[in-house]
Amino acid sequence: MPVYPALAAAGFRRWSTYRAATAAGALTNSVFGALKAAVLTGTVGTAGTVAGYDAAQAATFAWVTQALLAPVSVFADDEVARRVRTGDIAFDLARPVDPQLAAWATDLGRAAYTLLPRGLPPLLAGLLLTGLALPATPAPYALGAVGTALGVSVSFAARWLVNLTAFWLTEVRGVLLLYTVLATLLTGLTLPVAWFPGWLQALAAATPFPSMLQTPVDLLLARATGADALRLVATQLGWLAALLLGGRVLLAAGARRLVVQGG
């Protein structure tokens, strides 16, 4: 098997071993989905619609974002930063594979595994508790699948870039915390981006965060169709290319000043 598909398969197998954590995460996502659906539908209930969302669509948004939370991996991790801090990144640089592409393939495998066991329970809970306002035609689901794959990739590229700051910072927890706070808000995880005030919508649009979660949800729920859908996918591709290029530049710069701290 070619090396990168093999790494994706390895990422899938690695995450499939964490069965208890997967079950706990699915339960947590479902509980928070119920809370978020209640808040969003309660907000819409007094106005009828908010930014084009009625109560059913707001509830569906809540459940779908919770279903995609784990595959997209909205929150920051520190796996690469820890490898930089311990010096293990030197082994990655010495291997006959591209470190960034290898990590990307592994992350795609992780996302592929988490999609069903972490994604289905919130959707089933939503179907039972509030119902789901889902499209009746196949096109939004195909676009949603493309948007989700790109959202996972954009998220990986952003997290990779943030982790590489460990080459220059002894402690990156503050950077990762700031990233997580921004991602929680600007990806649309907490509220639909369309509900933001104008200035915050403009700020979100100037970042890659909506391309991670809000865009896949908009495509899946047919809130963007035709030219608008293609524009969203093109934006995802643009952010992915920019972040991957930035990650390559930062990795090359970090490799030139690599200091192995772990002996």
Give the tokens for residue 221. Answer: 């729920």
Name the most confidently modeled range: 57-61, 81-85, 223-227, 258-262. Answer: 57-61
Q: Please determine, for residue 135, whether its predicted confidence score (pLDDT) is greater than 60.
A: yes
Residues contacting 210, CB < 8 A, separation 6+: 186, 187, 188, 193, 204
Q: Please determine, for residue 260, whether its predicted confidence score (pLDDT) is greater than 60.
A: no
Least confident of 52-66, 75-89, 193-207, 215-229: 75-89
**Sorting pLDDT into bands at 50, 70 and 90, what band is 262?**
very low
Cβ neighbours, 10 Å, residue 75: 18
**Sorting pLDDT into bands at 50, 70 and 90, what band is 68?**
very high
Nearest to 114 by CA among 67, 74, 157: 67
pLDDT at 52: 83
pTM over 0.85: yes
pLDDT at 21: 87
Residue 258 CA neighbour count, 13 Å, CB half = 21
Q: Side chain identity at 84, as an amino acid letter? A: V
**CA-CA distances (angstroms) from residue 15 to 54, 70, 117, 129?**
37, 12, 11, 29
| pLDDT tens column, 153-208 | 999 999 999 999 988 887 888 999 999 999 999 999 999 999 999 999 999 999 99
Residue 63 CA neighbour count, 13 Å, CB half = 26
Residues contacting 176, CB < 8 A, separation 6+: 76, 77, 78, 81, 162, 163
Q: Please determine, for residue 88, whether its predicted confidence score (pLDDT) is greater than 90.
A: no
**Residue given tokens 């995460």 in the structure block:** 25
Q: Is the Cα torsion angle 109, 251, 151, 149 positive or negative in sign? A: negative
pLDDT at 263: 45
What is the spatial distance between Cα 28 and Cα 33, in angstroms, rounded to a whole number? 8
**Residue given tokens 């006959």 in the structure block:** 96
Q: Please determine, for residue 36, whether its predicted confidence score (pLDDT) is greater than 50.
A: yes
| pLDDT tens column, 214-236 | 999 999 998 888 899 999 999 99
> Please, what is the average pLDDT of the chain?
90
